[in-house]
Structures are given as C-alpha cells and as structure tokens.
Structure 1
C-alpha cells in the first residue's frame, strides 16, 4: 500500500504548477464539457474490491502522473451519482438552462437542457473517445437512450424517446474566428456539450487540480481497485474553514495516470455530493462507427443556430425566467458586472444583476409556478448590514440574492456568503 505522503500545494511549487499546465494540455475531452454545473456517492458496484500492493509514490509524483498522461483513446461505462440536496431537476433543468422552457426553439435533444439532468440522481453513461475531435457520451435509461456525438466540426445529439435530433456545426478559425485567435484553432462556438458539465472522473479531477493553491492539502491516501484496474488514491482537502467541500478523492490508474473514480464529500458530512467512476473501461481505439450519426427516418432535426435565434426572439436566454436577470448566464467571471471576493476554496463571485433588481416577490406572478416551488424549497430569508435577501442552498454551491440586485455565489456556507455581502456593503 502506498504511504500517506503529502505535498502542500503552493504557488511556488514548480512540479505542481507544471503538472497543472500539462493537465490542461493532455485532458481527454470525453466530458460533455461543460457544470456548473455543475457542478455526484458511488453505487456499490464501484466499491473497491481490494487494496493492491503498489510501489510507493508521493502526492506530487501522482499529480505529475495525471498531468503527463497522454491517453487519447478509451471507451467504457461510467456511473454518476449526484446528491446536491435539492429536488430532482427533471424537466425543470431545461427550464433553467433555456430560460423557462416550452419555447418554439426548444428541442428534447438540446444538450443545454438534457445534460443538466446529471445534476441530480444516479445515471449510467456509455462513453468513448478517440483524440480531441471524436467523443461520444450516451445517457442510458431503462427504455430510451440520449446520445451526444462530436466528430470533427459536427456535433449531433439524439433523444430516442422523442425521436428528436439536435445538430450544430463547430465554427473554426479561418471562417468566423475570434480576434487574436491563431489559424487552425477552434473558436469554441459549438462544443460537444454545455460548458461546466463534466462526465468523466478525469474531467472532474482536472477542475479540482486547477483550483489547487496555498489553501490546499494534497496527500496519497492508499490504493484501490476500480473497474478491475489498480489505482492510487489522491486525497485533496481545503485548509480553509467556510467551504462546503470537505474532501475530494481521485482514484488514479497506476499504469497510465488516468483518473478512474472521483468522490466529493461535503464538509457537513453524510454521503458524497458527487461520485463518478468507471465500472468498465478499455483503453483500446474505439470503433469508428461510435462517432458517426445519421438521423433516423422521421426524426425531427433542430439546428443549433435556429434554436438559439428562436430563444433570443422569445426572450428566453440565460436566466430569462427571472425579470431583470436575463444577462446573468452569459457574463462569466470576466464580465464587468462580476468580481471575485476571497480566494481558494472560499472564493465567492459577486454579480450585479442588470437593472439592480432582486428576485420578484411571490405575489408578483412573474415566476412560473414550477420554478417558484423549486425556489421556495431552497430559499431562506437573511439580513445584515448589506440589507436583506434570500439564500438558496444546496450541499455544494450556495447563493445569496440580495433585494437590491446583487448575487453572491460560491462553494461556501451561507454564513460565509452573508459575511462577504456585509464586507462588500
């Protein structure tokens, strides 16, 4: 069994910094890229079947092993379980992603709504990758299957239950590239899936390792066996108080450095918030047919550009279901109305809503009944020197929406959000 060697992650540790840079380069993008999301307790089938006796390794060496992994081809089955402590999203996820749902441009195959389903419940995924330009992920259901296929500049999604397909053509540099982008690079106009919605342990692990800094403790926590393969366990923990994240464990393939299992435990205790792992994995080249798709006869096909134009015409983009919040979904951390308070695991994004208005009241009638029920199940009224507002809670990410139109959001406790709002007032 590997010893509990540790390494503190700090900005001056050359090996760790180099490891993170290499990690971004070598990541196998099976992920439906996305999260939020999104921002998962493993089912019993993924439990360790033994502790293999492996050569000793330090935490820094293990991080570098992940970063240096050049595995570009794989296929297998992944089980993801998410328990954010919120009601099952179901169709409501699509309403949030598309600004209310039900519009003329909506499609049941649209990745923006379908992949958000991974934010709750347990799902079985079949994944395949052959380099950076070919990926496929399928969500398996008892009576249906939803598939997302990326092949070159073509992105297809298909919902077998409704017999609907969604198609996007990835814009590349040389046609409509962004200013300053090098010739031959992808512009990112269309991706295999919404940003922030990872679907493999590697994609999840990369997000955590990129955030590692002086506030992070990293250790090797023994060994395990996942999907029949020997693995080391990398344990990542915040050194700060106030975070909702207790620890992250990544099981790393001892042979090729690919993360096989990812488990995020909350600081509040209890079952895992996020748990994702392979139940079966093969690192051979997948069949070329895995990345080809032709819409079945009679399928309704929605073009991405048409759907986007229709949603814009309907006024249903971003968080358009909330009056005055239409622009929040598109700003990003670099938007002029967004700033970051704090650092490390306690970083909080402060966002000013367009128009400086908070959420509508229950009596306003401006919020769809289904959305209002969802919000009421999460929200608690709070007040302080900042004024008053509502805290919306999950087991991982919490948000404070003030009555004067500011939003404070992060993977921190409600008390930490209120302190940040008071300090910014």
Structure 2
C-alpha cells in the first residue's frame, strides 16, 4: 500500500511471473558456463533463503518511462512514491553484515541516509532539514526487518524487485536464458520472461544475474512493441566486498537537530509507520479482490476521494502511496494523472481510465479502483463482474 499506484505495474507483474517451460538458451559471448533457467532460478531461491544479504556496496539507478503526462515537480530529495512514475533516481547501498546497513538517496542539493550501525541503533539523516533521528532497536535489526521510512520510498534494489517478480509460479510465461551479458562491469546471465497472455501490456521482463554470486544486478520491464525498457532498476557500480567500517558510523554534524525514538514505541518511529501501513493494508484487503490469473491479473479495491488525503501513523489513511511528498500536495499529483484520464462507460456503470505503457487503472464512479498490467478493455470487462 505504501508504494501504491506508481509501481502498480511492477507489483502486478510480480504477482504474475511464473517459471514456465524452459526454452533453449540464446547464445552470446560464452563468458560464463551455460546454465538452464531452472538452474538459475534454483540459485536465486537459494540466495533468497539466506539470513542476510552478502557483504557488498554499489550504486543503483531506477529509471521509469511509462509514457504518462508531466507531473508537478517535487522539491528536495525525490522521496515521493509518485517520483517512480518518471525520470531516473539514484540509490547508494552498503551491506556489511552483522546488521550493518546503509542506504543513501542523494538529491539535487541534499541527501537522505538510513544507517543501521549494528549496535542496536539506526540513524536517519536528512541534510535538507539538518535533522538526525536516532532509533533505538530492541534486539537485532534483522528481527525488526527495518523498513525504509516514507522519506525513502524509492530505496529499491534489483534484488528486492527480482524477488517479487520471481516468487510466483504459473504456466503463462516462457523463460529463456541469455549468456554474454555484462552489467556494472560484471559478467551476467539474463533470464528472459515472456508473457503468453494477449491482454497483458508487458512484452518481456529481463533479470540479469551476477555470474559469480547469482545476485540480481538489473531488472528491466518492457512494454509490448517497444525496444527500450519502460521500467528499469539496476546497478551501475557494484563490489562484493565488505565495506569499510566508517560507512556504518554516524555522528550528527554540529548544529543539527537530533531526535531520539524507539522502534514501535508509538513516538512516530518507523515501527509505528509499519503498524499504520499494515492496518491500512488490512482495511483495503478486506474490501479487495482480484480478477484473472498470471499476467492477466487485475486488482480491484474500494476507492474514494478520501484515499488521497494525508495520513499519519496515528490516523492511517487508506490512500494509495501513503507517505511524504515534499512540498507538493499529493492531490495535485493525482489531479495531473486524472487530467489525462478518458471517460468510459458500460453495463457496469461509468468511470475514468488512466493508461500508461505498462499499467492501466480504472476509477469507477461507484467507488472502485481496478488496476493491472493489462489493456483498458480488460479492466472494463472486469468491472462488470460482480
């Protein structure tokens, strides 16, 4: 729910991808030993079952080109979920083991860092406001599955996204392997997932796996009939070595405002955000349902103007993409999208359709949102199913 509409295409794709039948590997530069799709998927599953990520550091760039109209610009760090709709965004990551993690989201004139020191505490540093918040962790950081606060919703790595894309199984996908790929200077295998569903807007999804560690280095989602990815998350630089200890140390600079909070203590910390988000998700799930399966999956849930209202941990909103939007009113961002909507009607009633390269959304006048990586026609047909 926190990610909401901006990555609806990715979420729907993630619920749709299956391992499917294995086709012959596409031959390229034989930089790596040949592996079948089944062998590579087994390696990915093995990595997913590990207790924590391997030691590494790198720079991740996320790029979206969904073909949507221009949105109002947000100020400061690109922290809004709506920022995922267009442009490129950079994330720097460090994993040091022993609960030492650092994520940095640079902006034009500022930077936001989330640092887990491995000593029972985590720091959130926002240079734009000169604010440092120290979160006390009751137990190991891994036990809390520390979330990225709403100021870091774009903190997404290829491994995160690939895990969602590969976790589901089905028979509506052809899976192939390409050898000879190079990502961030490393030889890689590339899984190619091709939908077999006529109503899907997705042409293919590629997942590049490091040839040595089998860790996802890049994920690309292509719309049908396009040669360039509409959505991409990938490393531009990566090193699978233990980062220097100073990367996980933090001392607030002189003059910074320092706050202390406890995870899940009801004082506005990230634990409270998790509980508020979970509650909002449960409320939405209670009235939600799905149509179709695999790549043709369509999600339907209640939707009304109040979904666009701001929310706080104490009063969670049901709105999609709940979080901070810098100095930009989220309703203005939504209005920009709705201006491009097309009026539609049928036996089910009437509403507005928003189209992009990878996702379509139908807002019905009777208070429903139908969304999926499918054609608008598939949405209007689903709207008539009661």
In which range does the TM-score fall when normalised by the shorter chain?
0.7 to 0.9
Q: Distance in 1 between matches of 2:98 and 2:292?
A: 34
Contact 1:89 1:119 in 2 (8 A): no
1:59 matched residue in structure 2: 37
Q: Which runs of 5+ in 2 are unaligned?
A: 10-27, 310-328
Pair 1:164 & 2:121 matched: no
Pair 1:330 & 2:264 matched: no
Give the total of aligned pairs: 334
Contact 1:215 1:345 in 2 (8 A): yes
Deviations 1:112-162 (A, max 9, x none): x45653443112322111248332221234543222223455443323233
Contact 1:359 1:403 in 2 (8 A): no
1:253 matched residue in structure 2: 210
Distance 1:369 1:399, change over 3 A: closer
Q: Secondary structure, in 3 states, of the residue corresponding to 2:243?
A: coil
Q: Distance in 2 between matches of 1:409 and 1:61?
A: 33
Q: Secondary structure, in 3 states, of the residue corresponding to 2:61?
A: strand
1:420 matched residue in structure 2: 382
- Per-residue deviation, 1:73: 1.0
Pair 1:201 & 2:158 matched: yes
Q: Which runs of 5+ in 1 are unaligned?
A: 1-32, 41-49, 93-107, 174-183, 319-326, 361-366
Deviations 1:247-300 (A, max 9, x none): 111111111111112111112525312122222211111122222333323334
1:38 matched residue in structure 2: 7
Pick from 54, 57, 70: which aligns with 1:72? 54
Q: Distance in 1 between matches of 2:308 and 2:59?
A: 41
1:242-391 equivalent positions in 2, closer than 5 A: 242-301=199-258, 305-307=266-268, 330-331=280-281, 335-353=285-303, 370-371=332-333, 373-391=335-353
Q: Distance in 2 between matches of 1:263 and 1:226?
A: 12
1:4-19 equivalent positions in 2, closer than 5 A: none
Question: CA RMSD for the aligned pairs?
Answer: 3.8
Distance 1:240 1:234, change over 3 A: same
Q: Distance in 2 between matches of 1:369 and 1:339?
A: 25
Contact 2:354 2:361 in 1 (8 A): yes
Contact 1:249 1:264 in 2 (8 A): yes
1:140 matched residue in structure 2: 106
1:83 matched residue in structure 2: 65
Pick from 85, 92, 95: which aligns with 1:126? 92
Q: Secondary structure, in 3 states, of the residue corresponding to 1:156?
A: strand
- What TM-score comes out, normalization by structure 1 length? 0.67
- Per-residue deviation, 1:166: 4.6
Distance 1:134 1:346, change over 3 A: farther
152-161 or 210-219, which moves further after superposition? 152-161
Q: Distance in 2 between matches of 1:170 and 1:393?
A: 43
Q: Secondary structure, in 3 states, of the residue corresponding to 2:300?
A: strand
- Per-residue deviation, 1:77: 1.6
2:317 matched residue in structure 1: none
Distance 1:116 1:374, change over 3 A: closer
Distance 1:300 1:91, change over 3 A: farther
232-241 or 158-167, which moves further after superposition? 158-167
- What TM-score comes out, normalization by structure 2 length? 0.73
Contact 2:159 2:217 in 1 (8 A): yes
1:321 matched residue in structure 2: none
Pair 1:192 & 2:141 matched: no
Q: Distance in 1 between matches of 2:55 and 2:3?
A: 23
Distance 1:389 1:354, change over 3 A: closer
Q: Distance in 1 between matches of 2:55 and 2:218?
A: 17
Q: Distance in 2 between matches of 1:166 and 1:410?
A: 38
Higher relative contact order (CA 8 A, sep 6+): 2
Q: Distance in 1 between matches of 2:158 and 2:331?
A: 36
